[in-house]
Amino acid sequence: MTGGGLIRSAGGWLAVKEAYRDGIRLASNERILGSREFVEVTLKHAGELYERRMRMQSTGIDLSAVIAAACRYFGIEEKELARPTRRVEIARTRALISYVSTQSLPISGSEVARRFNVDRSAISRATLRVRRGPELPAATKTIQRELELDTNQH
């Protein structure tokens, strides 16, 4: 992002200085990122996700808490998750845990993989299944709400 494209698209240095004096800050180059409104909405959404992730982390939610909540939701015993199996409900539970842990909390896929005795790529594939699957996103929201409620009660 060099060469002064942002300055040129804003109308030159004089226009940028004048806008700065008027309290207007240039957040992006519309030629690259899109309209200002799009950039602001995207940044707001990213900020909300970051705040939620940090709030969940600061309340002490860890991988064990995610596993317990998902097992309750699916009616699975925790010890079943580390066993090699092809049962659909076990795969769904692992996928949900993988997604919530890596997307809503700062837990690495490697940590989740070690817990389930699988490789890192299995966690990545499981996370993608949650994003693409029709029923798992709703389950994800339920688990996240349950985790947030559990921490608010303690």
* pLDDT value at 118 more than 80: yes
pLDDT at 1: 44
pLDDT at 111: 94
Report yes or no: 106 and 59 within 8 Å, Cβ to Cβ. no
pTM for the full model? Answer: 0.63
The alpha carbon dihedral of 119, 122, 126, 131 has a sign of positive
The whole-chain average pLDDT of the chain stands at 78
Instruction: Go through the domains of the chain in sequence order and give each one's CATH number.
Output: 1-27 (no CATH), 61-153 (1.10.1750.10)
Q: Residue 25 is which amino acid?
A: R
pLDDT digits (tens, 9 = 90+) for 56-102: 666 778 899 999 999 999 999 998 888 888 888 898 899 999 999 99
Q: Using the CB atoms, write b or e for 88-100: b if 16+ within 10 Å.
A: eebebbbbbbbbb
pLDDT at 32: 52
Kindly state the average pLDDT of the residues 30-49: 69
Give residue for tokens 């990122």: 33
13 by Cβ neighbours in 10 Å (0-12 / 13-18 / 19+) ranks as exposed
